[in-house]
Amino acid sequence: MHWRAKGVVQKVLGHAPGGVHAHYLLQRRFGGLRNLGDEFEAKLGDWRLMVSHLRDAGRSIVDARLLEIGSGWYPAFPFACFLGGARNVITVDCRRRLKAELARDCAIELSRFTSFIADACGVLERDVRERQRQLERRLAECFDLHAATDGVVTYDAPVDATNTRFGPQQLDCVFSNCVLEHVRPDAIDGIFREALRILSPGGLMFHSINCGDHYASIDRGITRLNYLKYSDTQWRRWNNPFLYQNRLRAFEFTERAQSAGFQILMSTENPPASQLRELAGLRVHPQFAHIPPERLCVTSVDFVARKPDAVAP
């Protein structure tokens, strides 16, 4: 499918009555939700990377108090954290999109990953397997995430992640996966400030960000740097409520976290040689001319940020 055509279709659906449901049905029939097994395996791989990065920074999932920003269609990360022994996992979203049928499928898919989760979290597989079976059984009887997880997982939407209901210093970790590239820049600053407020001293923030042109996943005729050819005014033609892309570069996310008061412990920002070559053959819009090529070409980043033990008022 040509990327411009998809942009126009999504833009129309984003403003049409019933467009949200129609978009979901299209995703189930033709898009990323067509085969949950394949997408789910990729998500669990991302989850394990997060767990590994947090462990390297000194934070285990076991007994942790976690907040996920951007629940999406189904709670893969919260369920995996529950199986791994988290104390609390709150997952929030700006819109109420989580689907009961996908959450139940997610619980079933997790039966293939009990050893994987046990190894990642350093817990006994029999405990993970027991929690998975309980989760699958209870969700089949009644769709209540809170009850199905013995009060561990809570879904809350719509929620403004820049102004949550949590009191100060209540959480150990705030995280997201492939979310912040879809958030307006001023809201990202607000999310980081709110995370600093609600995290305990020394608490961590982890974000995995896919900051390349998402249209490249459906149109092989373009690269993940394609959207750098356009000004903000031009790009508004194809930006839409279902696939809004802020086009921030990887380093801008970490710099914004630092400006909010975080210490960056780890960042995977790295310019691949292939993307440097792609950038060299691209007519980049002058709007991006001030950014060095080795930073402009980066299309993904994971980073861990730490709240200082003492934060100035």
Convert the pLDDT of each residue in 182-233 to its tens digit. Answer: 999 999 999 999 999 999 999 999 999 999 999 998 898 999 999 999 999 9
> According to the model, what pLDDT value does residue 313 have?
47
Q: How far apart are CA 225 and CA 278, in angstroms?
A: 8
Q: How far is CA 158 from CA 66, 92, 95, 147, in A?
A: 18, 7, 5, 20
Radius of gyration of the chain (CA): 20
Confidence of residue 14 (pLDDT cuts 50, 70, 90): confident
How does residue 33 score in pLDDT terms, banded at 50, 70 and 90? confident
For residue 33, give the nearest of 85, 82, 106 by alpha carbon: 106
Q: Enumerate domains of the chain plus CATH numbers.
A: 3-306 (3.40.50.150)
Q: Is the pLDDT of residue 139 over 50?
A: yes
pTM: 0.93
Rounded Cα gap, residues 88 and 97, in angstroms? 21
* Per-residue DSSP letter, 183: S
Listing DSSP states for 7-18 in one string gives HHHHHHHHHSTT
Q: Average pLDDT of the chain?
A: 93
Cβ atoms < 10 Å from Cβ of 220: 8
Q: Could you read off the pLDDT of 230-258 as tens digits, one per residue? A: 999 999 999 988 889 999 999 999 999 99
Helix, strand, coil % (nearest 5) of the chain? 50, 15, 40
